[in-house]
Chain A
């Protein structure tokens, strides 16, 4: 079969930027079969498989890409699904440019193979065409509890269910998905896809108990008393961070978590939604990660005339996925780089009216390897804003920590684990994802879920001997 020697990826069809910044439908439309085959033929099928080393869940990337190149799309999906419980999600939200695609040999001279787009294609093709449900696995008679139905919890549940475990996932909210439901917007990850992935797990026998807050409704120790032989805690990150600057309690200041939860989980963008949301005319979003991009792009779609991202470092340092930055720019989001808020200014009725910012110079690289921003005295200016959204990450949630004796946490309150298996200081209790690492990515949580599931399986089998 002839290789495709094009130096660039087959372009991804997308909604026109000026149309899409007025709606919540998905931005990237996905490859057609022809496009997918053409792109898959760019893969050289390297023997040393560098891309696989960049994948936190070690998908057989050359394997599934080759199946697509051969037009065997269902086979491609099965290869993906062996390693990942949520391929349709990962294809859309993984930061491929710093993982698999960064290590792709084609990237040395030109663009790497569009691994993420191909992953999405195979998963979407399967959802649209496959009607045969996989046989439910044979029960092995063991019970495991998973705390949190986000990417980490769902991945662990899927892995364990496939091995025959009876898995119950406890979810605090009224819908499963965690950040996939409350955080990532519809236009980037349609909720229909999240629910289809959850349904696939339910079909494997996974039970999802909604409206159950572990640490409140039930404790970790009660789960163990009820006969769960292991518990995997993947409850996600916690309380949103604020800057500690004056004015953060003014009306019109949101944490990105609240803003996005109102929009995504509570559907505040729908015309008949009962959930209120402030539709600002001038919206300022503070932060440079994916969450900041999501919040800014939502604000634009809710009708804001001007949406600004305020980020203290430069373009190169933006932690967001490149595609999201690119999409945000296309949609008319203004970027204020090397700029930091000093205070939020309000009117006499307690509503936000502006964000006072200061310009930052970039100094020497800090511990994170990124150049450290330093304030330039006297460079203050006011940015007009009636809604300000703080997208600065989160600190730890205290509910499980406070109700689980003997569970060790670090000085930030994150649960401490012993190596990649995710075993905590408590026997039979594992943890992974943001609750351990602090705010990170979907795929890292999934990697942790997968590793913990395998460790739990080993532990239970060793006990059985």
Chain B
């Protein structure tokens, strides 16, 4: 089996997809909360993705991605049996779970794929785990069964109410806190806006909150500084200091603004490649 071969490619809900990749050295070390950087082809971008799962014996690492730009589109063009050009990791620090007896894990959208290993790790160490997973609508719901297996209580939320409980993850979380559940920590992984509002809520109730940041990144090893963010008024680098940070300290508005830097660029790329595809069809 060659390095970085795609052993499985499974479409999930929406435009999300899971890939199982052969990478024994990475699998050996990978911990919940860490990430990898991959390049699909020789001239592709470096894409950071948080690790979804690993099998140390088989030497595999799985990641879940959603097609959002040129880089993930190239990744998605590869099939089972093909090789990724580059795959490096595990990078960043693992999610700290020591000493946590009762935790609420909040996952949003594709973020649920990386919230799951954290919930599982907590469950395996004997913590009480409440999980809240949120999606825009029914057709985007995934990993519900996985979360069921590792959660003492599970709440599935949809924005439009087409499945589970209607509403946002923050509504479910606030209800649980008000019901008197005392969490040692809330761990929130999902879209930046979701993590921002979870952090605002838990700050109000004084519940420690960890968020997993995924800013724009190039090398991922502490060389380029592209992934810098402000945490508690200080500059931190997500690749070596994170990706987990204290949600009450992160300047979310700054990260949200900075993450849009290349959106315009990507938009143009997408339009051009759609145009080329259309031309090819004609």
Q: Which residues of A approach B to under 8 Å, CB–CB?
A: 172-174, 182, 210-213, 216-218, 236, 238-240, 242, 244, 248-249, 251, 254-255, 257-258, 261-262, 266-267, 272-276, 278, 349-350, 397-399
14 residue pairs A–B, Cβ–Cβ below 8 Å: A212-B88, A213-B88, A213-B89, A251-B257, A254-B226, A257-B225, A258-B224, A258-B225, A258-B226, A274-B71, A274-B74, A350-B258, A398-B222, A399-B240
Q: Shortest distance in angstroms between B102's beta carbon and chain A's nearest beta carbon?
A: 30
Q: How far apart sit A182 and B223, CA to CA, in the bound complex (Å)? A: 10
Are A274 and B226 in touch, CB under 8 angstroms?
no
Are A255 and B226 in touch, CB under 8 angstroms?
yes
Which candidate, B38-46, B48-56, B166-174, is the interface stretch facing chain A?
B38-46
The answer to whether A217 and B26 touch (CB under 8 A), given A258-B218, A399-B240, is yes
- Taking CB atoms, residues of chain B closer than 8 Å to A216 are 29, 89-91, 221
Q: Shortest distance in angstroms between B279's beta carbon and chain A's nearest beta carbon?
A: 16
Assess whether B66 is interfacial by the CB under 8 Å rule: no
Most buried by A among B45, B222, B266: B222
Q: How far apart sit A216 and B26, CA to CA, in the bound complex (Å)? A: 9
- Taking CB atoms, residues of chain B closer than 8 Å to A182 are 219, 223
**When the two chains form the complex, which single residue of B86, B88, B219, B229 contacts A261, counting CB atoms closer than 8 Å?**
B219
The answer to whether A266 and B257 touch (CB under 8 A), given A172-B221, A211-B87, A249-B228, is no
Q: Shortest distance in angstroms between B3's beta carbon and chain A's nearest beta carbon?
A: 9
Q: Chain B interface: which size bin?
A: 35 or more
Q: Which residues of B approach A to under 8 Å, CB–CB?
A: 25-26, 29, 39, 43-46, 70-71, 74, 85-91, 218-219, 221-226, 228-230, 235, 237, 240, 251, 254, 257-258, 260-262, 265-266, 269
Q: Of all chain A residues, which has the CB nearest B226?
A: A258
Q: Shortest distance in angstroms between B93's beta carbon and chain A's nearest beta carbon?
A: 9
Q: How far apart sit A397 and B220, CA to CA, in the bound complex (Å)? A: 12
Q: Shortest distance in angstroms between A279's beta carbon and chain B's nearest beta carbon?
A: 10
Are A240 and B86 in touch, CB under 8 angstroms?
no
Q: How far apart sit A132 and B51, CA to CA, in the bound complex (Å)? A: 47
Q: How far apart sit A267 and B44, CA to CA, in the bound complex (Å)? A: 10
The answer to whether A273 and B29 touch (CB under 8 A), given A211-B87, A216-B91, A398-B240, is no
Q: Shortest distance in angstroms between B209's beta carbon and chain A's nearest beta carbon?
A: 22
Q: Shortest distance in angstroms between B24's beta carbon and chain A's nearest beta carbon?
A: 10
The answer to whether A211 and B88 touch (CB under 8 A), given A238-B223, A242-B235, A262-B218, is yes
Q: Of all chain B residues, which has the CB nearest A259?
A: B224
Are A217 and B90 in touch, CB under 8 angstroms?
yes
Q: How far apart sit A244 and B230, CA to CA, in the bound complex (Å)? A: 11
- Taking CB atoms, residues of chain A closer than 8 Å to B87 are 211
**When the two chains form the complex, which single residue of A240, A267, A276, A349 contacts B225, counting CB atoms closer than 8 Å?**
A240
Identify whether the interface residues of A are mostly helix, strand, loop, or mixed: loop
- Taking CB atoms, residues of chain A closer than 8 Å to B88 are 172, 174, 211-213, 217
Q: How far apart sit A255 and B90, CA to CA, in the bound complex (Å)? A: 24
Are B224 and A251 in touch, CB under 8 angstroms?
no
> Which 5 residue pairs spanning A and B have beta carbons closest together?
A255-B225, A240-B225, A258-B224, A211-B88, A276-B265
**When the two chains form the complex, which single residue of A217, A254, A276 contacts B262, counting CB atoms closer than 8 Å?**
A276
- Taking CB atoms, residues of chain B closer than 8 Å to A210 are 86
Are B240 and A274 in touch, CB under 8 angstroms?
no
Identify whether the interface residues of B are mostly helix, strand, loop, or mixed: mixed
Q: How far apart sit A244 and B88, CA to CA, in the bound complex (Å)? A: 31
Are A274 and B43 in touch, CB under 8 angstroms?
yes
Are A397 and B25 in touch, CB under 8 angstroms?
no
- Taking CB atoms, residues of chain A closer than 8 Å to B45 are 266, 274-275
The answer to whether A274 and B44 touch (CB under 8 A), given A174-B88, A211-B86, A350-B257, is yes
**When the two chains form the complex, which single residue of A218, A240, A248 contacts B224, counting CB atoms closer than 8 Å?**
A240
Q: Of all chain A residues, which has the CB nearest B268?
A: A276
Q: How far apart sit A252 and B170, CA to CA, in the bound complex (Å)? A: 33
Q: Of all chain A residues, which has the CB nearest B4?
A: A211
Q: How far apart sit A257 and B45, CA to CA, in the bound complex (Å)? A: 17
Q: How far apart sit A218 and B99, CA to CA, in the bound complex (Å)? A: 27
Q: Of all chain A residues, which has the CB nearest B265?
A: A276
Q: Shortest distance in angstroms between B240's beta carbon and chain A's nearest beta carbon?
A: 6
Q: How far apart sit A276 and B223, CA to CA, in the bound complex (Å)? A: 18
**When the two chains form the complex, which single residue of A275, A278, A397 contacts B221, counting CB atoms closer than 8 Å?**
A397
Q: Shortest distance in angstroms between A216's beta carbon and chain B's nearest beta carbon?
A: 6
Are B225 and A278 in touch, CB under 8 angstroms?
no
- Taking CB atoms, residues of chain A closer than 8 Å to B223 are 182, 236, 238-240, 257, 261, 397
Q: How far apart sit A299 and B222, CA to CA, in the bound complex (Å)? A: 23
The answer to whether A173 and B219 touch (CB under 8 A), given A216-B89, A255-B224, is yes
The answer to whether A399 and B218 touch (CB under 8 A), given A174-B39, A274-B43, is no
Q: How far apart sit A216 and B219, CA to CA, in the bound complex (Å)? A: 14
Q: Shortest distance in angstroms between B34's beta carbon and chain A's nearest beta carbon?
A: 9
Are A248 and B74 in touch, CB under 8 angstroms?
no
Q: How far apart sit A258 and B46, CA to CA, in the bound complex (Å)? A: 13
The answer to whether A217 and B89 touch (CB under 8 A), given A273-B43, A399-B240, is yes
Given contacts A216-B221, A217-B29, A258-B225, 15 further A-B contacts (CB under 8 A): A174-B39, A174-B88, A211-B86, A213-B88, A213-B91, A239-B222, A244-B235, A248-B235, A249-B258, A251-B261, A261-B219, A266-B46, A274-B44, A274-B71, A349-B257
Are A213 and B221 in touch, CB under 8 angstroms?
yes
Q: Shortest distance in angstroms between B258's beta carbon and chain A's nearest beta carbon?
A: 6
- Taking CB atoms, residues of chain A closer than 8 Å to B254 are 249, 350
Q: Shortest distance in angstroms between B42's beta carbon and chain A's nearest beta carbon?
A: 9
- Taking CB atoms, residues of chain B closer than 8 Å to A398 are 222, 240
- Taking CB atoms, residues of chain A closer than 8 Å to B90 are 216-217
Are B222 and A399 in touch, CB under 8 angstroms?
yes
Q: Of all chain A residues, which has the CB nearest B256?
A: A350
Q: How far apart sit A238 and B225, CA to CA, in the bound complex (Å)? A: 9
Q: How far apart sit A109 and B29, CA to CA, in the bound complex (Å)? A: 62
Q: Of all chain B residues, which has the CB nearest A214?
A: B221
Q: How far apart sit A40 and B275, CA to CA, in the bound complex (Å)? A: 57
Most buried by B among A213, A257, A266, A349: A213
- Taking CB atoms, residues of chain A closer than 8 Å to B221 are 172-173, 213, 216, 397, 399
Q: Shortest distance in angstroms between B91's beta carbon and chain A's nearest beta carbon?
A: 6
Q: Shortest distance in angstroms between B82's beta carbon and chain A's nearest beta carbon?
A: 17
Q: How far apart sit A162 and B44, CA to CA, in the bound complex (Å)? A: 35
